[in-house]
A = this chain, B = another copy of it.
């Protein structure tokens, strides 16, 4: 008979023990907003540009299919026609697409399949902070790499690698970087992949905002999708709605069996129902997805410009604001170096504006992120954006 040493159930497994309590970003205890607060907190799509009627109609159709396949078990990697549609859009064989429960889930799978516990991972600095939370699944150690105006700084990365750092992976947001809003150039995409291949690390390219461009169309992703050293993570979260929990990864062949093996030990597969509805939505009317995106892009462009103009009008010279080429955030910088950014966030909260302070985003020292504000404008109408700017201006004035 097998005999094991007793273990008190009061001891947590090492997996769970590695989890830290959220600080700053994601920490609700910091906030006590006014009832009339305008929340510019999250990258939330506006309901007016989500295709609700088409979704209801697609649902009705999939629930009319004899035998109701949308309510039955399906294979772990995803179902037809959704998976094929994604593969065609990404320009890869369908075998390389694995459907996920949203972008963060794709990152989570990549972290668990690629990283040994304790591995070093090069990361954006500043960074989308929730990635660091996900990294705790592998008790990973972050190696911060500066992010410049055009995404992750590859000169800095190369120096770090030449100096001997050997990360197992690298995390970056290549299009409309969160929070800094830059995008990697076409050349830098190839250079990043070349570095990954030379130094044998895996790039986690996290791309939730890619489709929300309203300036120039973003650079191609071929460099990512053609490499065995990139897991390219995407999602319908920002385009069709976060509540669907539906996304995908483009995964190198060498990892795909492991991702499926892991996934089949977690929740088996993404909801067949949601996959069938979205598959029906995007394939029954070939232009619907792009028409939906066109409406969203126009709306977000207007909102970005409205908020940027309102900030300049309400608090002239207080912020250095760039209207980005896409995405859902402004990243204005305080021009007055003597202004206390934490005091500003508190004053703004008193005035009735909630946002993510820049100090929540560094993954290491050496950034000016704490001089910035991350303002989410996607789900806030023009009148409220203007009122938010007025309130922010009052908050700035109250500290001067």
Tell me the A residues contacting B by CB distance below 8 Å. 1-9, 11-16, 19, 42, 44-45, 47, 50, 52-53, 55-56, 59-60, 63-64, 66-74, 100-102, 104-105, 108, 112-117, 119-120, 133-134, 136-138, 141, 143, 160, 163-168, 200-202, 229, 240-246, 258, 261-262, 264-274, 276
Contact = CB atoms under 8 A, between A and B. Distances in A.
B242 A120 contact: no
Given A9-B114, A271-B244, A71 B47 contact: yes
Oligomeric state, in copies: 2
B71 A13 contact: no
A155 to B, nearest CB: 15
A13 B138 contact: yes
B47 A52 contact: no
A246 to B, nearest CB: 8
B71 A240 contact: yes
Contacts of A55: 59, 63, 71
Given A15-B112, A141-B2, A243 B74 contact: yes
B56 A52 contact: no
B16 A262 contact: yes
Nearest to A243: B272
A101 B270 CA distance: 8
Contact of A245 (B42, B100, B119, B267): B267
Contact of A100 (B11, B74, B267): B267
B265 A243 contact: no
Nearest to A12: B258
A232 to B, nearest CB: 16
A72 B237 CA distance: 9
A242 B262 CA distance: 19
A270 B104 CA distance: 13
Given A270-B245, A273-B243, A117 B9 contact: no
B243 A73 contact: yes
A282 to B, nearest CB: 15
9 contacts: A1-B143, A2-B143, A3-B163, A3-B166, A13-B112, A59-B63, A105-B266, A133-B264, A241-B273
Contact of A243 (B100, B104, B108, B271): B271
A13 B116 contact: yes
Nearest to A109: B266
A165 B1 contact: yes
Contact of A168 (B7, B74, B243): B7
Contacts of A201: 9
A27 to B, nearest CB: 12
A317 B105 CA distance: 52
Nearest to A58: B59
Contacts of A166: 3-7
Given A164-B3, A258-B12, A241 B274 contact: no
A71 B242 contact: yes
A52 B70 CA distance: 10
A116 B7 contact: yes
B113 A16 contact: yes
Nearest to A228: B9
A8 B163 CA distance: 18
Given A1-B160, A44-B72, A47-B71, A6 B200 contact: yes
Contacts of A133: 264-265
Contact of A265 (B4, B70, B114, B134): B134
A75 B42 CA distance: 14
Nearest to A62: B56
Contacts of A274: 271, 273-274
